[in-house]
Amino acid sequence: MGTTFLPVASIVTGVGGRDGWMSVLPGFAVGIPYCLMILSLSEQYPRKNLLQISAAVFGKWIGNFIGLIYILIVAYLGGLLLGQVGDIYQASIMPLTPLWVFFLGGIFLVLFLIKSGIEVFARFSEVVFPLIVFALLLNVGLSIPRIEQGELLPILSEGFKPLFLGAIKVIPFVMTYMLFLAGVIAFLPTGKQELSQLKKGVWRIIFLVGILDALVVLIQLLVFGPAETIRLVYGLLVLGKLVEVSRTVAGVESLFLGVWLSAAIIKIGSLFFSVIWGLESVFGLKGVKWRHAIAVVFLGISFRFIRGPALITEIGLVDEYLTMPFVALWIPILWGVSRWKRGAGN
């Protein structure tokens, strides 16, 4: 949820140009039907995650095949994101520290969080989320004096097509959340009242994150102009560098990175959980040994991508050509088939 803030501006502006900021929210809204589908599936099959539901609906073999793809995507993405932690820190504030320090630090935090259980994980997100929002708003607010004149105009000069393209670029981010939601669903309460509360929560979170992301893109467009926004790899950090609070603090990017780290930990952690659940429901693998094996896999993947540009391209590719098609097809089909089966059964 939090890691999108850094790349989103560059990606969206790359295709949407000056109007890219408007496509963020519609892109996020695509997530809502998916969430509702997942929730309705969990209503039907309480206390099961989506992989187990797939196995139940499609039969064991197809279910396991889906589970395998799921595990591969999730593990690969998790490793790549761990690599991103190193890349961001090294490129922006600590150029001389070796990458593996960040990898180890990151995986250590993730392991510690995983070990403390899903409940602590949820609470951690709960505590950290306001921090992220606050840091973002602070960053955005303090950048206001650096806004250039009229960078947002003209609005919609290229028609609606860029908006559409931009929204498509946003969807992979949303789909990554779905991957986690697919696993965590087994732990969510299934009562009628809780379910409606969850639905409300889904709307709220998606809109909140969407609006924040849009705001982040907007401020970068305002300050840098579209050409620069596309060019800057981590524009928000550059924004942090521009900030000056009169004469007391000259740049907040290292503080912002601290908060960002927590977001990255949450995301990697959630992918980690997904791998654990995946292994559990497909292969029945359980226990601490496997957890450490996953950690090693994550580390291995991140060590494979120590070249920053290659890493960022790879994340983009995985998001766009693996995560998005997979989730976009899997969940509706699963939902549709389970509906149809229920209809046929009655």
Partner 1 sequence: MGSWMKMIKELTIRPKGKRQIRKSPAYSFDEDLKKPLSGQTVKEILSKSSDVVFREFFLQGKDRIPCMLVAVDGLVDKNLLDEFILKPLMVDFAGHPELAQMTLSNVIDKTMESLLPGIEIKKISKMGDAIDTILSGDSVIFFGNLTEAIVIGARGWAHRGVAEPITESIVKGPREGFSETLRINTSLLRRKIKHPSLRIISLKLGDMTNTDLVVTYIEKIASPDIVSEVFKRLSKIKMDAMLGNGYIEEMIEDNPYSPFPQISFTERPDVLAGKLLEGKVGIIVDGTPIVLVVPAILTQFLNVNEDYYQRAMVAILSRFVRYVGAFVAIVAPSVYIAVTTFHQEIIPTDLFMSISAGRQGVPFPALLEAFTMTVVLEILQEAGLRLPKPIGQTIGIVGALIIGDAAVTAGLVSPLMVIIIGLTAVASYAIPTFDLSLAVRLIRFPLMILAGVLGFFGVTVGLYVILIHLLGLRSFGVPYTSPIAPLRIRALLQDTFVRAPWWALKRRPQLMDVEDPRPNGKG
Partner 2 sequence: MKTDRRKEHKFILRLSIIACLLFLTGCWGKREVEDLAPLLGIGFDQGEKPGTFLVTEQFARPKKDSSSGAEIEDRTFSVEASSSREAFEKFSKVAYRTPFMGSLKVIIIGEDFAKSGDFNNVLDFAQRYAEFRRSMYIVLAKGKALDLLNLKLRSGLLPAMAIKSNIEGGDEISVFPTVRLGHYLTILGEKSTAPIFPVVESVKTGEGVEYKTDVKDEAGEIRIQGAGVMRGDYLADFLTDEESKGYMWLENDVVHRLINTVDLEENSIKFGGQVIESSTKYKVKANNDKMELQYKIKTSIAIDEIMGLKKQLSGPEWVELVKQAEKDFAKVIEKECNSSIKKERELGLDFLGIGRHIEQKNSKYWKTIRDQWEAEIADFPISLEVLVTIHHSGMSSSSATNSGGEGQE
Residues in contact with partner 2 by CB under 8 A are: 91-98, 101, 104-105, 108, 111-112, 115, 146, 148-151, 153-154, 157, 223-228, 231, 238, 241-242, 244, 250-251, 287-289, 291-292
Judged by CB under 8 A, the chain residues 230 through 249 that form the site for partner 1 are 241, 244, 247-249
Does 91 bind partner 1 (CB under 8 A)? Our answer is no
Query: Applying CB under 8 A, which part among 43-51, 102-110, 212-220, 312-320 lies near partner 1?
Result: 102-110
Nearer to partner 1, 258 or 309 (CB): 258
Nearest distance, CB of residue 316 and partner 2, angstroms = 21
> By CB under 8 A, is residue 182 in contact with partner 1?
no
- The answer to whether residue 146 forms part of the interface with partner 1 (CB under 8 A) is no
Residue 285: half-sphere exposure toward Cβ, Cα within 13 Å? 16
- Choose between 280 and 314: whose C-beta lies nearer to partner 1: 280
* CA 332 remoteness from chain centre: 20
Q: Cβ of residue 65: shortest distance to partner 2, in angstroms? A: 29
> Cβ 51 to partner 2, closest distance in Å?
23
| Distance separating alpha carbons of residues 17 and 159, to the nearest angstrom | 11
Least CB distance to partner 2 at residue 92 (A): 5
| Contact partners, residue 125, CB within 8 Å, separation at least 6 | 1, 266
Binding segment for partner 1 (CB under 8 A), chosen from 10-18, 86-94, 146-154, 166-174, is 86-94
Out of partner 1, partner 2, none, which partner does residue 8 contact, by CB within 5 to 8 A per kind? none
Of the candidates 34, 268, 42, which has an alpha carbon nearest to the alpha carbon of residue 171?
Answer: 34
Residue 261 contact partner, candidates partner 2, partner 1, none, CB within 5 to 8 A by sort of partner: partner 1
The three-state DSSP-derived secondary structure of the chain is CCCCHHHHHHHHHHHHHHHHHHHHHHHHHCHHHHHHHHHHHHHHCCCCCHHHHHHHHHCHHHHHHHHHHHHHHHHHHHHHHHHHHHHHHHHHCCCCCCHHHHHHHHHHHHHHHHHCCHHHHHHHHHHHHHHHHHHHHHHHHHHHHHCCCCCCCCCCCCCCHHHHHHHHHHHHHHHHHHHHHHHHHHHCCCCHHHHHHHHHHHHHHHHHHHHHHHHHHHHHHHHHHHHHHHHCCCHHHHHHHHCCECCCECCCHHHHHHHHHHHHHHHHHHHHHHHHHHHHHHHCCCCHHHHHHHHHHHHHHHHHCCCHHHHHHHHHHHHHHHHHHHHHHHHHHHHHHHHHHHHHHC
What track of x and - describes contact with partner 1 for positions 19 through 58 (by CB under 8 A)? Answer: ----------------------------------------
Closer Cβ to partner 2, 68 or 285, answer by number: 285
Closest to partner 2 by CB, 139 or 176: 139
92 contacts which partner out of partner 1, partner 2, none, CB within 5 to 8 A by kind?
partner 2
Toward partner 2, which CB reaches closer, 184 or 239? 239
Partner interacting with residue 276 (select from partner 1, partner 2, none; CB below 5-8 Å by kind)? partner 1
Binding site for partner 1 (CB under 8 A): 89, 93-94, 97, 101-102, 105, 108-109, 112-121, 123-124, 126-128, 187, 241, 244, 247-252, 254-255, 257-258, 261-262, 265, 273, 276
